[in-house]
């Protein structure tokens, strides 16, 4: 079956209600977990971009991409391994304000981990960290002793490294 | 603009004002539809009301169940090559279509289904007869779309027909809310000719063509398996030319049947679970396999780990996702089968392979002695299914369209029926939908009114859609129905016998009086159980002017062989 790796699938689509469902069905039908999923506009007007992360073999990711491309409203789909892309996720951590006030440690934690304080309220503060999953997880562990009220991490967003950007491969007339 | 439609003259630049419902009808007429199948109900009533004014242009066949309507549309599409059209109401009407849609999806049948939907303000409120038919049908449609305003109707329908027919065909569904059917719009119809995100026919790589031809030219034991892709692309002539020029033996999948006449000297039979002995066995002996418009279904390949490992594989296919899906392929030839075969023809050498063909003939002899002979000329008093097919062949000489249901009788029909013309075998292949036969035969006959249509059905499957006898009677559709009655769900019983120690759990059936049923529907009928009555009964039925139901009592516990059991390799094809 081949080695299981993390693949980022980038899908360029016409914006159409229901397409998300059509795409996720391709995964669920094969009992494959979507590790993360993000949708946004792309650099091309009217074209949306889905970014899906899966842990599968290359053989499987090729089949997935072909099934995705088969959908009428999908313009193109590509897959890449981590080394071929630059990618980030954003994580938000909500902690009690007193942890900040009382412990200088937390402040240095934030600084050393290239995180930042996004908002300060009377009772809590919100810390933001952008990075790879291991990095945001790492900060999560370090903050845990101080008590975390809420934690959330976004899906991956990614761009490819080669200069020729994917939009130019779309064949959109 | 596309080809001029019959209503070209009414299509002016100054659009006309119509209701959404009438726009549905006009759109269908613009797509050259003259026949549709359906069943009315609340949410589609405006469309039915609009149909009332167009009875000369658009013939509507009222089936007795929405499943009947969709299978009839499938039969129509398969026999005609056009898209089948179905209309149904929301909720239960729409959900009753799903089996047929799934069947059409897996068998690549072009269908346009139009369902009514509750008014748009009620969407998401669990309104009366509201179901999320878009959600339900999504995994089994090539494309689907919900229309909530009248202005969208012409474009949605134009797209629907384009998508259903182009590339690898398939079913599409348009769900139209009732308020959109009532609302007015300025109607102006433009046929859809392309969609920027959709490439129906991929381009063929010229280099791969050359490499493929080289492989074929250097091959000692080339073998071809063709599927329905040949029929769908209208590539029968090109297939014939390539086969004859190269001297390659060619076998069919279940769905490819009739693409090459069964009498063709290089036609070696059918592959698959109940296919012929030679083609299955020798799949693992060839050195080059050319697969044309087929998708290596597991019922064709048996155990993939032991499937055709010795050969180089050339795969001619319109759908890129089929390449390397199940079987690794050495040379993919993407494109339309007709065009690819056309381009291949001048590149391949004239050749013959007498020794290799001889191997197929040897296998055929073995199969004849061990199986066919016993089935055509049984020693027991019981009539066998194969015997019935043999007698039908003797009478029709392969000129009829044969529609089957699913089970033993299906495999026997596919094994033995003779076909002179393409689009003569209509059967539910990928989904194996019992109940398909009777309504599909209705569609086939309406598509090909001048050809004889024979429906071969089991006693089990007949009872899944027998209410369509009412449709046959009402519309005077001439179909010859043969029930091969073994009083069992035969194919399941066969598996119970072979793989479940004869534990016949719930497969024996107490059947109704089929003759009384057909009388009830006002149809001519007869029952035979003795061999000496069979031939006359068949002749009488086949020469009868109008529909006729013939019930033939066959051996209760006969089995279909050869068989490649699930998990077995094609080389392990069993003769008993
Ligand atoms: C809708 C549906 N339900 C169940 C099956 C499973 N199945 C496959 S063949 C078969 C038996 C068919 O019996 P019958 O129609 O009498 O035909 P026979 O095999 O006896 O020729 C069954 C139940 C099916 N294919 N389709």
> Cα B323 from chain centroid?
22
Mean pLDDT in residue range B91-98: 98
Share of residues in chain B with pLDDT > 90 (%):
97
Q: Is residue B565 part of a domain?
A: no
Q: Are residues A70 and A99 in the same domain?
A: no
| pLDDT over 70 at B179, yes or no | yes
Which domain, by its residues, includes B314? 206-359
| Shared-domain flag, residues B256 and B182 | no
Prior bond to B242 cis, omega within 30? no
- B492 Cα: distance to centroid of ligand 1 (angstroms): 7
- Please report the pLDDT score of residue A166 as a whole number: 63
Asked whether residue A129 falls in the same domain as residue A164, the answer is no
**Mean pLDDT confidence for B115-126:** 96
- Does residue B434 lie in a domain region? yes
The range of the structural domain enclosing residue A127 comes to 87-153
pLDDT greater than 80 at residue B11? no
pLDDT single digits (tens) B269-319: 999 999 999 999 999 999 999 999 999 999 999 999 999 999 999 999 999
CA distance B153 to chain A (A): 17
* Closest C-alpha to ligand 1, atom 4: B434
Please state the domain count of chain A: 2
Average pLDDT of the segment spanning B537-543: 98
Domain holding B295: CATH number? 3.40.50.1220
In a domain, B571, yes or no: no
For B547, residues 6+ apart whose C-beta sits below 8 A from its C-beta are B472, B473, B476, B477, B478, B479, B480, B481, B523, B524
Q: Are residues A51 and A113 in the same domain?
A: no
Contacts of B144 in chain A (CB under 8 A): 18
Put simply, the answer to whether B197 touches A29 (Cβ < 8 Å) is no
pLDDT tens across A114-147, in order? 999 999 998 999 999 999 999 999 999 999 988 8
Most informative mutation of B433, B434, B555 for ligand 1 (most atoms within 8 A of CB): B434
pLDDT at B7: 45
Q: For the domain that residue A27 is a member of, what is the CATH number?
A: 3.30.70.260
Q: What is the CATH number of the domain that holds B140?
A: 3.40.50.970
Mean pLDDT, residues B396-416: 98
Q: Does A14 touch chain B (CB under 8 A)?
A: yes
Indicate if A74 and A28 belong to the same structural domain: yes
Q: Are residues A47 and A91 in the same domain?
A: no
Q: State whether B80 and B142 are in the same domain.
A: yes
pLDDT in tens, B216-264: 999 999 999 999 999 999 999 999 999 999 999 999 999 999 999 999 9
* Residue B494 near ligand 1, beta carbon < 6 Å: no
From the list A14, A21, A69, the residue facing B138 with the nearest CB is A21
Are B197 and A73 an interchain contact pair (Cβ–Cβ within 8 Å)? yes
A contact test, residue of B143, B160, B321, B328 with most A CBs within 10 A? B321
Same domain, A80 and A101: no
Which of residues B126, B159, B187 is at a domain's end? Answer: B187
Q: Quick check: is B390 in a domain?
A: yes
For chain B, the average pLDDT equals 96
- For residue A173, what pLDDT band results from cuts at 50, 70 and 90? very low
Q: Is B555 a pocket residue for ligand 1 (Cβ < 6 Å)? A: no
Name the band, by pLDDT with cuts 50, 70 and 90, for residue A1: low
What are residue B71's DSSP bridge partners? none
A72 part of contact set with chain B, CB < 8 Å: yes
pLDDT at A146: 84
Does residue B65 share a domain with residue B169?
A: yes
- Regarding whether A111 and A80 lie in a shared domain, the answer is no
| Average pLDDT of the segment spanning B16-25 | 97
CA B426 – ligand 1 centroid, Å? 17
Residues A102 and A64 placed together within one structural domain of the fold = no
Final residue in a domain of this structure, among B327, B359, B391:
B359
Q: Are both B151 and B223 inside the same structural domain? A: no
Question: For residue A162, what pLDDT band results from cuts at 50, 70 and 90?
Answer: confident
Contacts of B166 in chain A (CB under 8 A): none
| B505 CA distance to ligand 1 middle (Å) | 14
Query: Would the pLDDT of B8 be above 50?
Result: no
CA distance A21 to B136: 11
What's the pLDDT score for residue A102?
62
How far is A19 from A74, CA to CA, in rounded Å?
Answer: 8
pLDDT score, position A97: 82
| Pocket lining: B99 vs ligand 1, CB cutoff 6 Å | no
Residue B569 inside a domain? The answer is no
Shared domain for A65 and A99, answered yes or no, is: no
My answer on whether B70 and B104 are in the same domain is yes
Q: What is the pLDDT of residues B438-481, one digit of tens each?
A: 999 999 999 999 999 999 999 999 999 999 999 999 999 999 99
Please name the residue whose Cα sits nearest to atom 3 of ligand 1: B434
Pair (B458, B395) in one structural domain? yes
Amino acid A16: pLDDT? 74
Is B366 within a domain? Answer: no
Answer yes or no: do B321 and A63 touch at CB < 8 A. Answer: yes
Asked if residues B7 and B188 have their Cβ atoms less than 8 Å apart, the reply is no
Question: Mean per-residue pLDDT for A98-104?
Answer: 66
Instruction: Answer whether residue B198 is part of any domain.
Output: no
Complex-level ipTM: 0.91
CATH code of the domain in which A139 resides: 3.30.70.1150
Note whether B139 contacts A25, CB cutoff 8 Å: yes
What's the average model confidence in pLDDT over B84-112?
Answer: 98
Contact indicator for B229, B337 with CB cutoff of 8 Å: yes
Give residue B1's pLDDT band: very low, low, confident or very high (50, 70, 90).
very low
Tell whether B546 is covered by a domain.
yes
The Cα of A155 is separated from the nearest Cα of chain B by a number of Å equal to: 25
Which residues of B are annotated as catalytic?
A: 66, 128-129, 178, 491
Concatenating the DSSP letter of every residue in B463-474 gives HHHGGGHHHHHH
Report how far residue B566's alpha carbon sits from residue B569's, in angstroms, rounded to the nearest whole number: 8
Q: Write phi, then psi, for B317 (nearest 5 degrees).
A: -155, 140
- Domain boundary among the residues B326, B359, B392 is at B359
DSSP string, B240-306: HHHHHHHT--EEE-TTTTTSS-TT-TTEEEE-STTS-HHHHHHHTT-SEEEEES----HHHHBSGGG
Residues A70 and A127 in one domain: no
- CA-to-CA dists, residue B513 to B487, B508, B526, angstroms: 12, 16, 11
| pLDDT tens by residue, B37-83 | 999 999 999 999 999 999 999 999 999 999 999 999 999 999 999 99
Q: Of B139, B323, B325, which is closest to A29 when you measure between CB atoms?
A: B139
| Any atom of ligand 1 within 6 Å of the Cβ of B486 | yes
- For chain A, give the mean pLDDT: 90
B22 in the same domain as B113? yes
pLDDT at B201 over 60: yes
User: What is the per-residue pLDDT across B334-347, written as a single tens digit (0 to 9) for each?
Assistant: 999 999 999 999 99
Asked if residue B270 and residue B228 are part of one domain, the reply reads yes
Mean pLDDT over residues B534-561, rounded?
98
- pLDDT exceeds cutoff 90 at A161: no
Cα B442 from Cα B61, distance rounded (Å):
10
Same domain? For A81 and A92 the reply is: no
Contacts of A69 in chain B (CB under 8 A): 320-321
Task: Flag the least confident range among A28-32, A106-110, B482-486, B543-547.
Answer: A106-110
C-beta B102 within 6 A of ligand 1: no
Q: How far is A23 from chain B (nearest CA, A)?
A: 10
| Overall domain count for chain B | 3
| pLDDT computed for residue A165 by the predictor | 63
Phi-psi region at B489: left, alpha or beta (left = phi > 0; alpha = psi -120 to 50): beta
Q: Is residue A28 located within the same domain as residue A94?
A: no
Q: B399 and B351, same structural domain?
A: no
Question: Residues B471, B441: contact at Cβ < 8 Å?
Answer: no
How many cross-chain Cβ pairs, A to B, lie less than 8 Å apart?
42
Read off the pLDDT of each residue in A96-108 and give the average, rounded to a whole number: 74
**pTM value?**
0.95
The pLDDT of residue B158: 98
Q: Is the pLDDT of residue B6 over 80?
A: no
For the residues B551-564, what does the mean pLDDT come to? 97
């Amino acid at each position: 079956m081949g080695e299981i790796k993390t693949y980022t699938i980038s899908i360029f689509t016409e914006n159409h209600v229901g397409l998300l469902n059509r795409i996720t069905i391709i995964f669920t039908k094969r009992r494959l977990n979507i590790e993360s999923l993000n949708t946004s506009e792309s650099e091309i007007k009217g074209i949306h971009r889905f970014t899906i992360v899966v842990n599968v073999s290359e053989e499987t990711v090729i089949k997935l991409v072909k099934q995705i491309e088969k959908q009428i409203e999908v313009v193109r789909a590509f897959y890449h391994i981590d080394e071929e892309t630059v990618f980030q996720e954003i994580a938000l951590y909500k902690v009690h304000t007193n942890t900040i006030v009382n412990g200088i440690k937390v402040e240095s934690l934030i600084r050393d981990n290239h995180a930042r304080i996004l908002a300060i309220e009377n009772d809590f503060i919100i810390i933001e960290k952008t990075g790879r999953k291991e990095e945001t997880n790492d900060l999560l562990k370090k903050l845990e002793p101080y008590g975390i009220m809420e934690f959330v991490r976004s899906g991956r967003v990614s761009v490819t490294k080669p200069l020729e950007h994917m939009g130019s491969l779309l064949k959109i007339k | 603009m596309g080809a001029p439609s019959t209503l070209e003259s009414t299509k002016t630049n100054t659009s006309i004002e119509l209701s959404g419902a009438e726009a549905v009808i006009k759109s269908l007429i613009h797509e050259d539809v003259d026949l549709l199948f359906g069943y009315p109900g609340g949410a589609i009533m405006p469309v039915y009301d609009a149909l009332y004014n167009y009875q000369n242009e658009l013939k509507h066949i009222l089936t007795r169940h929405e499943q009947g309507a969709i299978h009839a549309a499938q039969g129509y599409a398969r026999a005609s090559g056009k898209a089948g059209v179905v209309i149904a109401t929301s909720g239960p009407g729409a959900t009753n279509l799903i089996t047929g849609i799934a069947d059409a999806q897996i068998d690549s049948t072009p269908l346009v289904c139009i369902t009514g939907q509750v008014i748009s303000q009620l969407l998401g409120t669990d309104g009366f007869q509201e179901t999320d038919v878009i959600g339900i049908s999504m995994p089994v449609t090539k494309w689907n779309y919900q229309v909530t305003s009248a202005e969208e109707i012409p474009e949605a329908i134009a797209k629907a027909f384009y998508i259903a027919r182009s590339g690898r065909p398939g079913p599409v569904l348009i769900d139209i809310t009732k308020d959109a059917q009532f609302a007015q719009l300025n109607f102006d119809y433009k046929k859809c000719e392309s969609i920027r995100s959709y490439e129906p026919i991929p381009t063929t790589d010229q280099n791969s063509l050359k490499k493929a031809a080289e492989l074929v030219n250097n091959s000692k034991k080339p073998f071809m398996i063709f599927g329905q892709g040949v029929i769908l692309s209208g590539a029968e002539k090109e297939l014939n030319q390539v086969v004859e020029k190269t001297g390659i033996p060619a076998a069919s999948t279940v769905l490819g049947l009739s693409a090459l006449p069964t009498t063709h000297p290089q036609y070696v039979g059918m592959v698959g679970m109940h296919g012929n002995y030679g083609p299955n066995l020798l799949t693992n002996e060839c050195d080059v396999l050319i697969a044309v418009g087929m998708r290596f279904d597991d019922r064709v390949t048996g155990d993939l780990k032991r499937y055709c490992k010795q050969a180089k594989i050339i795969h001619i296919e319109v759908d890129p996702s089929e390449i390397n899906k199940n079987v690794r392929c050495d040379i993919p030839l993407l494109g339309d089968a007709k065009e690819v075969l056309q381009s291949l023809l001048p590149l391949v050498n004239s050749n013959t392979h007498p020794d290799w063909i001889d191997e197929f003939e040897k296998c055929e002899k073995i199969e004849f002695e061990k199986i066919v002979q016993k089935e055509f000329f049984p020693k027991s008093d019981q009539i066998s299914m194969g015997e019935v097919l043999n007698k039908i062949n003797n009478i029709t000489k392969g000129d009829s369209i044969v529609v089957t249901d699913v089970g033993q009788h299906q495999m026997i029909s596919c094994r033995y029926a003779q076909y002179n013309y393409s689009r003569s075998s209509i059967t539910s292949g990928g989904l194996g939908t019992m109940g398909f036969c009777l309504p599909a035969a209705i569609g086939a006959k309406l598509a090909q009114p001048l050809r004889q249509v024979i429906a071969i059905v089991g006693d089990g499957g007949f009872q899944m859609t027998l209410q369509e006898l009412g449709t046959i009677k009402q519309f005077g559709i001439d179909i010859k129905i043969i029930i091969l009655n073994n009083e069992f769900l035969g194919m399941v019983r066969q598996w119970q016998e072979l793989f479940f120690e004869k534990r016949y759990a719930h497969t024996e059936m107490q059947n109704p009086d089929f003759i009384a049923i057909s009388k009830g529907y006002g149809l001519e009928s007869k029952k035979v159980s003795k061999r000496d009555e069979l031939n006359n009964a068949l002749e009488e039925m086949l020469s009868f002017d109008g529909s006729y139901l013939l019930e033939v009592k066959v051996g209760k516990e006969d089995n279909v062989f050869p068989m490649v059991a699930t998990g077995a390799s094609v080389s392990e094809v069993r003769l008993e």
